[in-house]
Every structure is written in structure tokens, then in C-alpha cells.
Amino acid sequence: MNTIARVGVDLAKQIFQVHAVDESGKVITNRAVARGKFAEWCAQLPAGCLVAIVKESDPNRGRSHAT
């Protein structure tokens, strides 16, 4: 069984996108988690798991704009 080693979290208003990988970088899960269920989901992570959280403050940042 693969154990989650690292998690990336993209925060939004109601849904958080989580991307979890094992030590070798193999994707374990890539899914949306509701804000109300996020703490419960995190409580199930193994001890020592690295969690990186990203909050994009400008919704237009990083988008290509045609001129």
C-alpha cells in the first residue's frame, strides 16, 4: 500500500483541491474536498506528511490575456 508523503492544497471559497503523492512521487489522489470536510481529511494523513497550501489571491493571475 502506498503511503501519502506530500500533499498540495489549492484553497478556494468552498472546495479545496488536494493532490497527494507518495515518496516516489506517484499520485495517490487528486480530488476536490469540501471546506467542511478538509480538517477531517487532513486528520487521516500519516504523521510527518508534508502539506503545502496555496491561496491564489488574484483570480486572474497567471492567466493568458489575448490583446
16-59 pLDDT tens trace = 999 999 999 999 999 999 999 999 999 999 999 999 998 776 66
The H or E element containing residue 28 is strand 27-34
Q: Is residue 30 part of a domain?
A: yes
The confidence score (pLDDT) of residue 67 equals 47
Query: How many domains is the chain partitioned into structurally?
Result: 1
Domain of residue 33, CATH code: 3.30.420.300
The confidence score (pLDDT) of residue 54 equals 87
Tell whether pTM > 0.85: no
Q: What range defines the domain where residue 25 resides?
A: 6-55
**Residue 43 to residue 31: CA distance in whole angstroms:** 16
Which residues are CB-contacts of 42 (< 8 A; sequence separation ≥ 6)? Answer: 51
**Residue 21 to residue 64: CA distance in whole angstroms:** 29
The H or E element containing residue 36 is helix 35-43
Q: Is residue 67 part of a domain?
A: no
The confidence score (pLDDT) of residue 22 equals 95
Kindly state the DSSP code that residue 33 receives in the 8-state scheme. Answer: E
Q: 17 or 66: which carries more pLDDT confidence?
A: 17
Q: Is residue 63 part of a domain?
A: no
Q: Is residue 60 part of a domain?
A: no
